[in-house]
């Protein structure tokens, strides 16, 4: 095992010393490892992204508070993330060189999917994220730190996009005019949700804000929703962020970085499936929240496409990429999904109406 990782792990209260530590998972932000101890117990070790998160102590305070709150409300101990404290009883390790680390219990006998294998899997992810939001409905939102300010402020995402576009630090803008035009043509609409929140038309709730399918675990045997993970972005937000981000990722007929755009569509069947699960678990959603669900899906997809495009223009500093045009390919799938949603707008609205009955 790498000496650095061994030393880092030595600062955590594992049951016995670690015998292996290997890269793990498909997250775009943190660096994740699976750790095995001498007794074969497994853990997740993460180096927290300081590019994404500028105040790690505040972030970890959120996670400790939310997981403690959830633990009192669940039956299966695998139903929430469990932090393993450091040897000086802290929730994370400040290694002193600008890196920050944390360890979770590995959620055993579970599956984490990159794409739904069956519609029922997607339904269960809706149950998981919906239940998560419902369980946190009385959590004191004002005690949570905003771990990434303006995370889903689509209007502000456009501001950053325009800034990078004007600076064009890598000279990449000329090659992506079509994508830039697509984004700019929808700039006005980008303020829809933020404006409604500011006007009090949409209620602020404690939300997860990063509800893609690989941020929820299903029980390996029953395939039922088990645990919502990746709690870095839990903060006050809109229910539509959680609903919309799940549709963006999970109702697509292709991977987020699919190069063949003919394969990329927003499946209305999957849209219905997720809607059903989410509405079932969140019976308290207001009429306006339900009415805006198609817009939530569109905004989260547009915003994510704009974020991928911004990162591409900026030289790929935020999202992990595996090749030069990775962020551009991701941006293209998102914009294809947005266009597809626009062409299916009435059907999406009808599905929401039918599933609300």
233 binds, among ligand ADP, Mg ion, ligand GN1, none (CB under 5 to 8 A by kind): ligand GN1
Q: Of the candidates 112, 115, 187, 349, which one interacts with ligand ADP according to CB under 6 A?
A: 112
Name the one range near ligand ADP by CB under 6 A: 23-31, 183-191, 236-244, 251-259: 23-31
Residues 28-67 that bind ligand ADP (CB under 6 A): 28-30, 32, 44
C-beta closer to Mg ion: residue 158 or 308: 308
Structural tokens at position 123: 């339904």
The least distance separating ligand ADP from the CB of residue 295, rounded to whole angstroms, comes to 25
Q: Does 336 bind ligand GN1 (CB under 6 A)?
A: no
Q: Does 28 bind ligand GN1 (CB under 6 A)?
A: yes
Contact call for residues 250 and 244 (beta carbons, < 8 A): no
State phi, psi for 341 to the nearest 5 degrees: -65, -40
Q: CA 153, 347, 285, 201 torsion: positive or negative?
A: positive
C-beta closer to ligand ADP: residue 18 or 29: 29
Residue span 39-58 as binding mask against ligand GN1, x where in contact by CB under 6 A, dash where not: -------------x------
C-beta closer to ligand GN1: residue 53 or 182: 53
C-beta closer to Mg ion: residue 219 or 230: 230
Q: Which residues of the chain form contacts with Mg ion (CB under 5 A)?
A: 27, 215, 230
Q: Does 148 bind ligand ADP (CB under 6 A)?
A: no
Residue span 215-254 as binding mask against ligand ADP, x where in contact by CB under 6 A, dash where not: x-------------xx-x----------------------
Give a three-class secondary structure readout of 202-261.
CCCEEECCCCCHHHEEEECCCCCEEEECCHHHCEEECHHHHHHHHHHHHCECCCCCCCCH
107 binds, among Mg ion, ligand GN1, ligand ADP, none (CB under 5 to 8 A by kind): ligand ADP
C-beta closer to ligand ADP: residue 229 or 351: 229
Q: Return the bridge partners of 37, or none.
A: 18
Q: Does 296 bind ligand ADP (CB under 6 A)?
A: no
C-beta closer to ligand GN1: residue 275 or 327: 327
Identify each DSSP E strand in the chain by its residue range: 18-23, 31-37, 42-47, 83-84, 93-94, 100-105, 110-111, 205-207, 216-219, 225-228, 235-237
What is the Cα–Cα distance from 221 to 330, expressed in whole angstroms? 32
What is the Cα–Cα distance from 148 to 171, expressed in whole angstroms? 27
Give per-residue burial for 220-251: e unless 16+ CB within 10 Å, then b. eeebebbbbbbbbbbbebbbbbbbbbbbbbbb
What is the Cα–Cα distance from 68 to 71, expressed in whole angstroms? 5
Rounded CA Rg of the chain:
20
Contact call for residues 183 and 305 (beta carbons, < 8 A): yes
Q: How many positions of this chain bind ligand ADP (CB under 6 A)?
A: 19
The least distance separating Mg ion from the CB of residue 233, rounded to whole angstroms, comes to 9
Residue 84 half-sphere exposure, CB side, CA atoms within 13 Å?
24
Q: Does 25 bind ligand ADP (CB under 6 A)?
A: yes
44 binds, among ligand GN1, Mg ion, ligand ADP, none (CB under 5 to 8 A by kind): ligand ADP
| Residues near ligand GN1, by CB under 6 A | 27-29, 52, 210, 212, 215, 230, 232-233, 256, 304
Q: Which residues bind ligand ADP (CB under 6 A)?
A: 24-30, 32, 44, 81, 104, 106-107, 112, 214-215, 229-230, 232
């Amino acid at each position: 095992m790498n000496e650095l990782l061994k030393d880092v792990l030595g600062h955590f209260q594992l049951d016995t010393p670690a015998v292996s530590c290997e890269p793990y998972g498909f997250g775009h932000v943190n660096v994740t490892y699976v750790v095995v101890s001498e007794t074969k117990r497994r853990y997740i070790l993460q180096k927290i992204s300081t590019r994404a998160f500028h105040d790690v102590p505040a972030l970890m305070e959120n996670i400790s508070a939310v997981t403690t709150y959830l633990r009192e409300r669940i039956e299966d101990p695998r139903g929430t993330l469990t932090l393993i404290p450091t040897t000086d009883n802290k929730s994370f390790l400040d290694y002193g060189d600008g890196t920050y680390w944390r360890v979770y219990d590995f959620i055993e006998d579970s599956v984490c999917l990159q794409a739904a294998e069956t519609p029922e899997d997607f339904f269960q992810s809706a149950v998981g994220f919906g239940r998560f939001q419902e369980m946190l409905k009385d959590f004191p939102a004002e005690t949570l730190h905003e771990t990434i300010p303006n995370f889903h402020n689509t209007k502000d995402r456009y501001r950053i996009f325009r800034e990078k576009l004007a600076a064009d630090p890598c000279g990449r803008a000329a090659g992506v005019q079509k994508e830039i035009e697509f984004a700019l043509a929808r700039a006005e609409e980008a303020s829809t949700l933020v404006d409604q929140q500011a006007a009090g038309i949409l209620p602020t709730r404690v939300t997860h804000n990063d509800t893609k399918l690989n941020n929820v675990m299903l029980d390996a045997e029953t395939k039922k929703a088990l645990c919502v993970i990746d709690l870095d972005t839990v903060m006050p937000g809109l229910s539509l962020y959680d609903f919309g981000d799940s549709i963006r990722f999970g109702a697509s007929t292709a991977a987020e970085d699919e190069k063949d755009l003919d394969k990329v569509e927003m499946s209305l069947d999957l849209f219905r499936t997720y809607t059903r699960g989410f509405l079932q678990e969140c019976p308290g959603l207001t009429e306006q929240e339900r009415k805006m669900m198609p817009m939530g899906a569109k905004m989260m997809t547009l915003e994510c496409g704009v974020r991928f495009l911004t990162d591409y223009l900026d030289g790929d500093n935020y999202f992990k990429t595996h090749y030069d045009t990775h962020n551009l390919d991701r941006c293209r799938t998102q914009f294809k999904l947005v266009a597809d949603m626009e062409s299916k707008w009435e059907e999406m609205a009808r599905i929401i109406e039918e599933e609300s009955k």
